[in-house]
Amino acid sequence: MIAVTTSKLSKRFKTIDALKNLSLKIEDGQIFGLLGPNGAGKTTAIRLIATTLSATSGSATVAGHDIATDAMAVRRAIGVLNAEIGLYIRLTGRENLAYFGQLYGLDKATIDRRIKELDQWLELGPRILDQRAGSFSTGMKQKLAIARSVIHDPRIIILDEPTSGLDVLAAQTVLQFMKEARDQGKLVIFSTHQMDDAERLCDRVAIIHKGRLIATGNVDELKQQAKASSLAEAFLTLVNKTS
């Protein structure tokens, strides 16, 4: 089932085309890699899909909702984890989760149930749930940020460079989370420039370079297309071709 479609989606910042004519169809139940070097337009694409930015032209639907006309429904359908872990440091982990749960319109009973589920899934524990976030290690913060992004049990999970700046253990938590989310039938959109992670995890990928989509397909297809032995090599070949 198609979860996200974009049609000639474009964003222009003053004189710069951050994204130009992005057209994609992404199905449920997979990890979809959005690959590209820094500044390629991945974050812009995610922000457009997530409705925090408005498109200059083109259109997109998320879980059947138009990003331009039904932004609130789109936001309810997605959970986004950004590269920078932002938490309210004076609130406990539970309060952080409850706050976002309330903003997603969940009632108290649902919030309590979701926190319990996420506690089991991500092994948050009382240290994360009942202490203020200001004292957390990076790994603990990452776990809480993941929990926050899915507090409303979204159908689509978008992760923007979720492993950058993380140590191996914290990065592993994120990668494991993505796999488990896919196993639950969710669509995981994984934006990264780390080709090894993408090759190991992604069912399909799209390569964006200088704001344009230059290739899409599964990992093997892209390797064949570029006559490369790894996704990293394929990525470099394809990017260089268009430069």
Per DSSP, what are the bridge partners of residue 81? 159
Determine which residue in the list 37, 64, 73, 194 makes contact with other proteins, applying CB under 8 A: 73
Alpha-carbon distance of 213 to 235, in angstroms, equals 12
* Angle ∠(114,117,122) on CA atoms, nearest 5: 115
* Angle ∠(47,162,129) on CA atoms, nearest 5: 105
Q: Which residue has the tokens 């460079």?
A: 161
Determine which residue in the list 19, 60, 63, 78 makes contact with other proteins, applying CB under 8 A: 78
CB of 242 to other proteins, least distance (A): 26
Residue 107 as a binder of other proteins (CB under 8 A): the answer is yes
Q: Which stretch binds other proteins (CB under 8 A): 95-103, 116-124, 164-172, 203-211?
A: 95-103
The DSSP-derived string for 141-192 is: HHHHHHHHHTTT--SEEEEESTTTT--HHHHHHHHHHHHHHHHTT-EEEEEE
Residue type, 45: A
Determine which residue in the list 8, 90, 116, 241 makes contact with other proteins, applying CB under 8 A: 90
Would you say 98 or 178 has its CB closer to other proteins?
98
**Binding pattern to other proteins, positions 17-56, x when CB under 8 A?**
------------------------------x--x-xxx--
Residue 91 as a binder of other proteins (CB under 8 A): the answer is yes
**Residue count (the chain):** 243
Residue 86 as a binder of other proteins (CB under 8 A): the answer is yes
Contact residues toward other proteins (CB under 8 A) are 13, 47, 50, 52-54, 71-73, 75-76, 78, 80, 82, 84-91, 95, 99-100, 102-108, 132, 145, 148-149
